[in-house]
Amino acid sequence: MSTLSYSYSERVVWVDELGAEPHPMVHDLCGPHADRLSVPLGWQRRDRRASAAAGDPEASGTPGASEPPRAMVQTTLFSQSREAQPRSA
């Protein structure tokens, strides 16, 4: 199992090991779906699972040193989604 998170502003999708806590802005995937995940044109797929770090030819992408921690991405995405909601008068 894996967890998918993303940033619209950066056009990046991260695939991580399964997250311990649920969050409204991430999605859990089974292994085969995480392995076959494709992203829209112009986006980057960053696979940060152990299988990708071990050089698994089926995993694409590598973690970058400048990537924010997963928890930071999740918090930022959640904050952005709340700001985008219309406010009632």
pLDDT digits (tens), the chain, 89 positions = 999 999 999 999 999 999 888 888 899 999 999 999 999 999 999 999 987 766 654 444 444 434 554 544 544 554 444 555 555 55
**What residue segments make up the domains of the chain, in order of their start?**
2-84
Output the pTM of the full model: 0.59
H helix intervals, the chain: 31-36, 50-53, 70-84
In angstroms, the CA 67 to CA 32 distance is 25
